[in-house]
Structure formats: C-alpha cells, structure tokens
Amino acid sequence: MVKNAIFLFFVLLFVGCEKKEAPQLNIIPRPLKYWVSSNTMKFDQNTRIIYEDPNPALRLMAEDLAHQIENHTSFTPDVIALSMAKSIGNDITLTANLSDSAYGNEGYLMQHNGMKFLSIQANSAKGVFYGIQSFLQLLSPPGGEKPDEIVLPAIYIEDRPRFIYRGMHLDVGRHFFPVSFVKQYIDLMALYKFNTLHWHLTEDQGWRIEIKKYPRLTEVGAWRDKTIVGHQSDRDKLFDNVRYGGFYTQEEIREVVDYASLRNITIIPEIEMPGHSLAALSAYPEMGCTGGPYKVSGEWGVFEDVYCTKEQTFTFLEDILTEVIGLFPGTYIHIGGDEVPKTRWKNCPSCQKRMKSEKIKTEEQLQSYFVRRIEKFLASHNRHLIGWDEILEGGIAPEATIMSWRGISGGIEAAQMGHDVIMTPGNYCYFDHYQGDPELEPLAIGGLTKVSDVYAYEPIPEELSSNRARYILGAQGNVWTEYLAKPQDITYMVLPRMAALSEVVWSPKEKRDWKSFYKKLPYHFSLYEAMGLTYSQSVNNLCFRIKEDENKINMVSIESEIPDAVIHFTTNDSMPGIGSKKWTTSLPVSQIHTIHAAAFVDGKQIGKVFTKTVSK
C-alpha cells in the first residue's frame, strides 16, 4: 500500500516540476541524462532513509548512506523499512523494484518527487548503489562546519553504464599494499562506479597470496632481500639491501572480497604463469626448467626463468588455482601470460619431450598448450580464463578473454575471432606512466598519459564492425607498482586519471566533453582533500616536449590541458604575464635558451609558472 503511494507521488508530482537541462553537475562519471529543477530539495533531522524490504543489501546501503550523511551534517537519518513507513516526508527512498529493462542490472532512476522526497529506484540493489554514489556527489565535500540541513536543487537522473566491464588493476607484487589500502582503493573505485578490481597477486618480485598446500610460496616467495633504487638504466645498479615483502592470508583475502562485493565490485585475481614467476620458483625450484636455485627478484623486468611445462608444474598450478577459486567467487581468473621468454623451454629436456609428444612445433605453441590446459582446468570449475594479449600467439585458447595491453591490435584480433576483450592499451590506460612533464613529476616508469589522454580514449576500435564491437566488454586502468611504493604514490597516480576513465567506460560516448569534465575537477579535488588523499594537479601544469619535425629539426612544444587556456611566455628571465608573448606554435630548440611560461584563462593565471632551460 505504501509502495503504491510512493509511485503515485512520482507520477502526480514530478510531472509538475519544472525541468531544464543542467549546465553543470559535479557527478563523475557523467550520468546518461539529467535535469536540475529550479525547485530545491531539503533534507534535515526529520529525513529518514527508507529502504524496500526485505532486501538485506538495500538495508546495508541505507545504513551506510545514513552514516555518510552524518559525516556531512549535524544529523543522522533514521533507517527504516518501507513496510514500516506510515507516510513519506522529506525522506530518501531506496527501492529495487523498478522493473524497467532499459536500466539493466546497474542503472538507476533518481528523482525528487513533488518537492518532498528523493527516490532512488533500480531493477537491482546494484543500481541503487550507483544512485547513492551519484547522490553523494551532489553534497558539498565533508569537513568544516556541519550544516543542520542539506539544500540542493531538485534533481532528475536517468543513468546506466555504457560498458559492463569497468576495471581498475592493482599490482601488489612489485610493492605490497596492506588490506586497509586495498579497501581504500575499492572505495575510490566505488565512488567512480567501477565494478571490477583486477588484483595482480603474484610477480617475480613477490608472491602475495597464502596458499595452504604450498606454504613456502609466502614463507619464501613473499620476501626479497633488496630492491633496486631509481631507474636501473640510469647508472650502475644501486640496491637498498633492505628485506621487503608481505602477503595476504586467506582470511584477509576473504575480507577484501566481501568488502568489494558490498560495493558492487568483483575481484579478478591474477596468478601469473608461465612467466613473471620467479618468486614462486624461488620457493619451489623444481617447477622451473633448470631446477634453480632462483631468487625473488629485487629488480624490475622480464626474466628468463619461467615455469617448466612438465606434468608436476601443472599439478602445482592446479592445486594453487583450486585454492584461489575457493577464495574468489567471480567467474574470471586471470592467468597473466605476458612477457614469457622461451629460452629455458628451448633448452629443457622436459619441455622438448612435451613438444614431441604433443606434436608441437614452436615454443609459442607450447605456451598455447600451457594456456589451453589451464583453461580446461578452470572451465571444469566453471571459471573463465583471462590472459594478456600474448596468449594470442601460438593460438588462443578456445574460450579465453583477452586483455589488450600492447596497443589495441591484440584486442581487435581477438574480437574479430569472436573472443571477449578488455581494453587496457598502454598509451591511455597505464596509470604508472607520467601524467605530466616528467621534470615536474615524481619518478615514474616512463611514458606520458595525461588526464586528457585518458579522457579521450575510445575503447571501441574503428576497425571493428558493430557486430564485432560487442566483444569489447570495456576498459581498465592498470597500476603497476615498480615505482609506487606507498599508498600515497598510488593515489597520486590514479587521481584524477581514474575519474577520467570512469566517464570513458560509463558515460555515453557522444556526451563526453573534456571541458565540462575539467570543470568538475575542483569539486573532486576537494573530495580527495576531505578524504586526506594525495592526488595530482598536473592537469593544470604545462607540458613541455621536444620533438623532431618533418625536416628533422628539434622543435619545442608547450601544451596545456586546460580548456581555452592561452599560454604566455618569456625568454628574457622575466615572469610571464598576459602582456607577454603568446605561445601559438612550436619553436626550434635553437631559438630558445631559458623559457618561462604559464597558462592563463580569462586573463587569470592557472597553475604554476613553468621554467625550462633547453640544452642544445
């Protein structure tokens, strides 16, 4: 009865509301459709969070929302079941009975009804969760004086994601991050409506997941006795000689899986094979071709020692995967497959015997044999294999999903063959790359992937027909941690690039607009500040590059990501102002010695003055 009353309110009262297209809403990712009314909605100490019952997921969300509102205001809304609500006042209602297939499994409808209550409706609790995330981004960031009421423009939002796979990756192999940080990372993912965490749990530099049957994986494999300092190409290798490591117990893994699940995030564990396996080999050297000894690596790179293809290794890996499957309820298991030198296999009697008996001609095909066997094993446990795009070489396993990282060609090839694909091309999706001028940034692995580059990424390659495009499930930001040792190093690299990626994977392609995204960033920066998170403002800095032109002359370019920015510069050691020369094109290196430049919008300087001395 009360439910019916709610719907009557929707129909009768929202219709009367004045609707107009909103010029700016701070919600990231941008919703599919929204209107902001000139009316207001108000929440205060009388506001309750009413959830549809019996639905335990909605009850938990209601309690969490009440808690979040308590963080922002002086009041804590009561949480009550819909069946207990005698009437609806200036409340917030959460219901999962929308029964409208247009919203799918993750969409939601949020509307203020008759200048009274705010409803968040969806087909499932997942959709309601995303509606709550949007609602929270309507509030001012917490901190400072706590107001007695929340007054907001009345809102109407229809929203659903563009892609079903919206991922963030985290490498805990090169550096280990505690459960508390992994949860914080998951919170950030939830804020931006990501639904998949790709947890890279094993590496040459450390094995991070407890496996009961093989305790040495963590007793030995989780620890290295030194770590390289800086870029190894810079000079002779320098090590810190400090023992380093850590791992997650199975209990901790379960805790993280449950934490993620409450936030609509599925975790895909990655257990790397046959390469990037030095940590495991150091614990169980009999699984390698040479028998070792091996050492957990203290430096980065690709190593020749990989798993041997003898029978014993498959038993070992299947035992490990059996425990992994027991811990992670999601469908996908990532088995790596990238960067596998074939040197050891070429010289190994067991591997060569395997090639003969299986009539395998090349070592690439031997890797394919390896992956197919693991796929069969996973399939027998109702799990689905994902691998990096190298698993295309030598023949893709029949049902494998491909993660395309070496550009997009692997993704295109796999989609053409009817395989599912997740796009993670380095130039757009590698958040371990620099995001601004390397001289202004903390040490990173290399590359340059600016926030605006991430934002400009289009996951569906032009080469694919619409029939094939449907195999592109979505995209993912990858965070490799060779140069990221602490939680704040990671948040600096992903904030705000993951916000940019969230619009790529959630928002409609035709509504993506860099200028309006950029305008939302100050609000999000203040959210990060309220959360005490380190983040990057390099989007406001100039980026300086030297590139050869078609006549092989080294040209200096200075770029700004700020919409409508004008760059002014000086070459005479004075500070640039709006009266200084405008930078309009690139200049030959020979014409410049020291340059000072800054970006201006409407005559106001944005970001820092940038100084560069060009060596000829």
CB of 300 to ligand ACM, least distance (A): 11
CB of 286 to Zn ion, least distance (A): 11
Which listed option, ligand ACM, Zn ion, none, makes contact with residue 135 (CB within 5 to 8 Å by class)? Answer: none
What are the tokens at 218?
């963590």
Binding of residue 350 to Zn ion (CB under 5 A):
yes
What are the tokens at 588?
């030959």
Binding of residue 355 to Zn ion (CB under 5 A):
no
State which residue, 272 or 437, has the beta carbon closest to ligand ACM.
Answer: 272
**474 vs 162: CA distance, rounded Å:** 8
CB of 309 to Zn ion, least distance (A): 6
Contacts (CB under 5 A) with Zn ion, residues 287-306: 289
Residue least distant from ligand ACM (Cβ): 338
Q: How far is CA 616 from the centre of its chain?
A: 40
CB of 355 to Zn ion, least distance (A): 10
Residue in 338, 441, 463, 513 binding ligand ACM, rule: CB under 6 A: 338
Binding of residue 351 to Zn ion (CB under 5 A):
yes
Size of the site for ligand ACM (CB under 6 A): 4
Residue in 64, 339, 513, 559 binding ligand ACM, rule: CB under 6 A: 339
State which residue, 268 or 348, has the beta carbon closest to Zn ion.
Answer: 348
Q: Taking the chain, what is the end-to-end CA distance rounded to the nearest angstrom? A: 79
Which listed option, Zn ion, ligand ACM, none, makes contact with residue 279 (CB within 5 to 8 Å by class)? Answer: none
Q: Which residues of 470-503 are buried (b: 16+ CB within 10 A; e: fewer)?
A: ebbbbbbbbbbbbbbeebebbbbbbbbbbbbbbb
Question: In which region does residue 183 sit, left (phi positive, over 0), alpha (psi from -120 to 50) or beta (all else)?
Answer: alpha
What is the H or E stretch that residue 312 is in? helix 311-327
Task: Choose the stretch contacting Zn ion; rule: CB under 5 A; options: 259-267, 350-358, 425-433, 447-455.
Answer: 350-358
Q: Of 582, 564, 494, whose CA–CA distance to 531 is shortest? A: 494
CB of 318 to Zn ion, least distance (A): 17
Residue in 79, 188, 348, 495 binding Zn ion, rule: CB under 5 A: 348
Phi then psi dihedrals of residue 223, to 5 deg: -130, 135
CB of 372 to ligand ACM, least distance (A): 20
Residue in 189, 211, 287, 308 binding Zn ion, rule: CB under 5 A: 308
In 187-311, which ranges are E strands? Answer: 196-200, 202-203, 206-207, 223-224, 244-245, 266-273
Draw the binding track, 218-257, toward ligand ACM (x: CB under 6 A; -: no contact). Answer: ----------------------------------------
What are the tokens at 62?
């209601």
Q: For residues 155 and 111, is the Cβ–Cβ distance under 8 A?
A: yes
Task: Choose the stretch contacting Zn ion; rule: CB under 5 A; options: 151-159, 286-294, 497-505, 593-601.
Answer: 286-294
Burial class (CB within 10 angstroms; exposed 0-12, middle 13-18, buried 19+) of 558: buried
Query: DSSP letters along 426-465, please?
Result: HHHHBTTSBSS-GGGS---SS-B--HHHHHT--SS-TTS-
Which listed option, Zn ion, ligand ACM, none, makes contact with residue 97 (CB within 5 to 8 Å by class)? Answer: none
Residue in 388, 455, 569, 600 binding ligand ACM, rule: CB under 6 A: 388
State which residue, 217 or 308, has the beta carbon closest to Zn ion.
Answer: 308
**436 vs 75: CA distance, rounded Å:** 42
**350 vs 462: CA distance, rounded Å:** 44
State which residue, 339 or 393, has the beta carbon closest to ligand ACM.
Answer: 339
CB of 312 to Zn ion, least distance (A): 10
Binding of residue 405 to ligand ACM (CB under 6 A):
yes
Binding of residue 610 to ligand ACM (CB under 6 A):
no
Instruction: Name residues whose C-beta falls within 8 Å of residue 4's C-beta, 6 or more positions apart in sequence.
Output: none
Q: For residues 75 and 91, is the Cβ–Cβ distance under 8 A?
A: no
List of residues contacting Zn ion (CB under 5 A): 289, 308, 348, 350-351
List of residues contacting ligand ACM (CB under 6 A): 338-339, 388, 405
